[in-house]
Structure 1
Amino acid sequence: MEVLQDENAQLQHAVHSHAVIDQAIGVLLAVGRLTPDEGWNVLREVSQRTNVKLHRVAELIIDWARTGKLCGDVRTELDLQLARHGRPPHTA
């Protein structure tokens, strides 16, 4: 029974993490006029180049969409990645 509870908890966590990442990609699609693949690539590159876990970068981008605030390192790298994909940097 404990094994099933652990598996269930892991699956719930995976579903939540996936939803957060999808939401962040949606923000990038809207802000940067990106395709879904480009949104994923931008999210992944920001994570790798700032050494911040992908899930955390996704949370920060979602928070930025709500508050207009994004920490310096992630904001700078996001601007660079959006420019790399031929899109204007965000203005919030």
Structure 2
Amino acid sequence: MRHTDDEFDEVRSELAQRRRQLASQPVIEQAKGMLMLLHDLDDEGAFALLREVSQLSNTKLHEVAAIVLSAGSDSLPGPGRDASTAAVLGTLESLTRPDGVEPG
């Protein structure tokens, strides 16, 4: 059986996607841990919160996780921070404030 160039391209593309997923996994796990600690969430609740913030702010999940980690370490720039960072943090704040309802 002979494989076509299109089949090889498809496999290469899938492999690249899997590598990106593996590279972002530690960041997501660390962000989940931070949210679990700060908001008394379990593993599923923390992931649900990350996912919801990602969807509501139209930001990729691994980017949300990186922003959460940066915010927790106070390494975010101040007033000049970019729009996606502001959207993520604003969404996260609105979902976790005491008078709001947290997912999970």
Q: Is TM more than 0.5 here?
A: yes
Residue 41 of structure 2 corresponds to: 34
| Secondary structure of residue in 2 paired with 1:85 | coil
| Identical counterparts, % of pairs | 30
TM-score when normalising by structure 1 = 0.72
Structure 1 unaligned blocks of 5 or more: 87-92
Are residues 1:24 and 2:38 paired? no
Residue 5 of structure 2 corresponds to: none
Q: 2:101 aligns with which of 66, 84, 87?
A: 84
Letter in 1 for 2:66: E
Deviates more, 1:55-64 or 1:75-84: 75-84
Q: Distance in 2 between matches of 1:34 and 1:58?
A: 16
Aligned residues: 81
Q: 1:72 aligns with which of 70, 81, 86?
A: 86
Q: Distance in 2 between matches of 1:14 and 1:73?
A: 23
Structure 2 unaligned blocks of 5 or more: 1-7
Residue 13 of structure 1 corresponds to: 20
When Rg is computed on C-alpha atoms for both structures, the one with the higher figure is 2
- 1:65-91: CA deviation from partner (whole Å, max 9, x where unpaired): 1116484322221122223228xxxxx
Q: Looking at secondary structure, tell me which structure has more helix per residue.
A: 1
- 1:25-78: CA deviation from partner (whole Å, max 9, x where unpaired): 111011111111110010000000000111100000011111164843222211
Are residues 1:56 and 2:63 paired? yes
Q: CA deviation at 1:16?
A: 1.9
TM-score when normalising by structure 2 = 0.65
